[in-house]
Amino acid sequence: MSFANKTIVLTGASAGIGRKLAISLAQQDANLVLAARNQEGLEQTLTACTKHTQKVIAVPTDVTHAVACQQLIERAIGVFGQIDILINNAGIGMLTCFDEVTDLSIFERVMQVNYLGAVYCTHYALPYLKTSQGLLVAISSICGKTGVPTRTGYVASKHAMQGFFDTLRLEFRSTGVDVLVVSPGFVATDIRQRALGADGKPLGKSPRDETQGNMSVDECVHQIIWAMERRKREHIMTLKGKVLPWAKLIMPGLVDRITAATVRKPTATQK
As annotated, the active-site residues are 154
CA distance 9 to 35: 8
Strands 85-88 and 56-60: unpaired
Counting beta carbons within 10 angstroms of the beta carbon of residue 2, is it exposed (0 to 12), middle (13 to 18) or buried (19 or more)? Answer: exposed
d(CA 130, CA 84): 9
How many other β-carbons are positioned within 10 Å of the β-carbon of residue 263?
14
Rounded Cα distance between 120 and 74, Å, is 13
- For residue 23, give Cα distances in angstroms to 81, 183, 195: 22, 20, 24
What is the spatial distance between Cα 249 and Cα 111, in angstroms, rounded to a whole number?
A: 27
DSSP state of 121: H
The CA angle 183-21-233, to the nearest 5 degrees, is: 35
| CA distances for 10 relative to 14, 15, 139, 270, angstroms | 10, 12, 11, 32
